[in-house]
Structures are given as C-alpha cells and as structure tokens.
Amino acid sequence: MSESRVRIGLVYPELLGTYGDRGNAVVLTERCTRRGIAAELVEIAASEPLPDSLDLYLFGGGEDNPQSLAAERMRASAAALTRARAGGAVVFAVCAGFQLIGHQYQTGDGEMLEGLGLVDVTTVGGAPRLIGEVVVEPDPTLSLPTVTGFENHSGRTTLGPGVQPLGRVVHGGGNGDGSDGALGERLVGTYLHGPVLPRNAALADFLLGWIVGADALTPIDDHLTDALHAQRLASATATGWRARIQELRTNRG
C-alpha cells in the first residue's frame, strides 16, 4: 500500500459506468471500512489524468462510443498506470474496461480501439450480443466459489498463449469460447457486471487480499450478500433450464 489508507480508484465513471460498476468500488471500500481498515473511494473524472498513487484501479463497462473516449484517455495516462503497477497497484476491469486493458478492441463497426496491453488479450466485436446472466466456475487455483454476474456485450476475447482465464463459463457467454476474463499479476479482467463484487463477496476479498494481505480480511456479516449470491445462482440456473427446454421444443417442432 502506498499510504495507510486503501485508495480505491473508480476510473472515468461517466464513461465506464453504464452498467452500475460503481457498486464494485462501493463494496470494496465498505468491506475495508467494516473491518476497521481505512479506505477511500477516489473517483477519477474523464477530464483528469489517472494518478499513480492508488492501490486499486477499477475500470467498468460502457457502450462503444464512450469506450472509445475512455481508450484515448487511458492511453494518455498509461505511464501513470505503469508506475502504479510497478508499486503493486491492483487492476480490476469489467467488460469494456477488460477489453481496454488488453491490446485492442475492434468494435462491430470496425473501429480499432488500442488498449493498454496490461494483459495479453485481444477482442473483436461479434454478433449476436451476449446478454444475460452468467455463471463462472473460477480457476481452481484461486479457491473461489462460483461467480455470478450479468453481461451485455458484443466483444469476443481471445487470450494470448499462457494467459489464464478467470474461469470456465457454466452459463452465459463470457469471452465467447467457454472461458471468462483473464488473470494477471495482481490483475483480474471479467465480462461480469451485476455489479459483480456486491454479488460475489469472495471475489471482492480476493482483490483486497492483494492490497491488505489475507490476514487482515477478518470475517464480516455476509448473510445478505450470501443470500443474493444464492438467489442469483438459482435464477441463472433456472433461466438456463428454461432456455434449454425451449430449445428442445423448438428443435422438435
């Protein structure tokens, strides 16, 4: 940590906030505060350069046009982010943000958005859009419970050789090839909105663990979050079964 207070950066919320990803920043800050760990939510407006002093950088999702503006601004602040990363800063990026921490995203209209290349992934817009509930079984090495979220994107993401996904898609689209997201050094990318961290407390703590250390993550009352997690998981599974039954009926008829 760069200072005693955990500084959680919400990057360009007016451009990368279409899908409620602000909730990720709120949850991370709140989970620190409830444990007596001083934390601050720092919003970085799109008109400002990214500071190099934050402990965690959150990049949310967005439609292609605001995403294009965000890409330009992120590239202009690439040096600050590199300094922050060298100092141990964590990156958590969702959907448009995930695409932009990769090398590039080619939109469905053919526009090429250059990303930061923090992780070796490339994305191409495709059809149909992948919309709906997603269930991901995280890579076993992470020891995380099943992750649930919501997705709405056209991008199909290809991981470079040796890049590990966040996990395997059990329901939904994710990267488009049966996997979702990517893992890097103190970095997680995913297609999951929801927002995803209020729905998956263990994933929020996994990220915080990189900053404050696992020992500082004392138990907190998670009964509401756990109930939400169970409810969303059941809902996604039910949606999956309904879709499958519909498919079987259609194929039969």
Which residues of the chain form contacts with ligand GLN (CB under 6 A)? 19, 61-64, 67, 95-96, 125, 152-155
- Quick one: 14 or 40, whose CB is closer to ligand GLN? 14
Q: How far apart are CB 152 and ligand GLN at their closest, in Å?
A: 5
Instruction: Spell out the SS3 assignment of the chain.
Output: CCCCCEEEEEECCCCCCCCCCHHHHHHHHHHHHCCCCCEEEEEECCCCCCCCCCCEEEECCCCHHHHHHHHHHHHHCHHHHHHHHHCCCEEEEECHHHHHHCCEEECCCCCEEECCCCCCEEEEEEEEEEEEEEEEEECHHHCCCCEEEEEEEEEEEEECCCCECCEEEEECCCCCCCEECEEECCEEEECCECCHHHHCHHHHHHHHHHHHCHHHCCCCCCHHHHHHHHHHHHHHHHHHHHHHHHHHHHHHC
- Quick one: 32 or 123, whose CB is closer to ligand GLN? 123
- Quick one: 103 or 153, whose CB is closer to ligand GLN? 153
- Quick one: 148 or 210, whose CB is closer to ligand GLN? 148
Q: Which residue is nearest to ligand GLN (CB)?
A: 61
- Name the active-site residue from 153, 171, 193, 229: 193
Q: How far apart are CB 107 and ligand GLN at their closest, in Å?
A: 7
- Name the active-site residue from 95, 103, 153, 229: 95
Q: How far apart are CB 189 and ligand GLN at their closest, in Å?
A: 12
Q: How far apart are CB 126 and ligand GLN at their closest, in Å?
A: 9
193 is catalytic: yes
28 alpha carbon, distance to own chain's centre: 13
Which residues are the active-site residues? 95, 193
